[in-house]
Amino acid sequence: MLAIKLIPLLMFMPGLIQGSGRTHAWLCFVVLVYFTLGILELFSLTSKLEGALITLFSTILFISSTLYIRWHKST
């Protein structure tokens, strides 16, 4: 089930490999959806660990993509 949730992120891989700032910006928007779903699962009664992991990883991905855009733009 987790693999199905991660498939939409794979369409960003070519742009991430090329180092496109625009792809990183769009990735930030998509990751916010994963963050929201992680928060909802974290506060549900069924899967707190999965919600915490999704929230943690989406936060790390969002911050790293945002910092990449900032550093890429300054060079």
Q: How many domains does the chain have?
A: 1
Q: What is the pTM of this model?
A: 0.85
Report the distance separating Cα 11 and Cα 16, nearest Å.
10
Is residue 1 situated within a structural domain? no
Q: What is the DSSP string of 1-24?
A: -HHHHHHHHHTTHHHHHHT-HHHH
Nearest to 58 by CA among 44, 39, 71: 39
What pLDDT was estimated at residue 50? Answer: 87
What pLDDT was estimated at residue 68? Answer: 93
Is residue 48 situated within a structural domain? yes
Is residue 10 situated within a structural domain? no
What pLDDT was estimated at residue 14? Answer: 93
Tens of pLDDT, residue by residue, the chain (75 residues): 767 878 889 999 999 999 888 999 999 999 999 999 999 998 887 878 888 999 999 999 999 999 999 998 776
Distances (CA, A) of 24 to 15, 49, 60: 8, 27, 13
What pLDDT was estimated at residue 75? Answer: 63
Is residue 5 situated within a structural domain? no
Q: Which domain holds residue 29?
A: 16-74
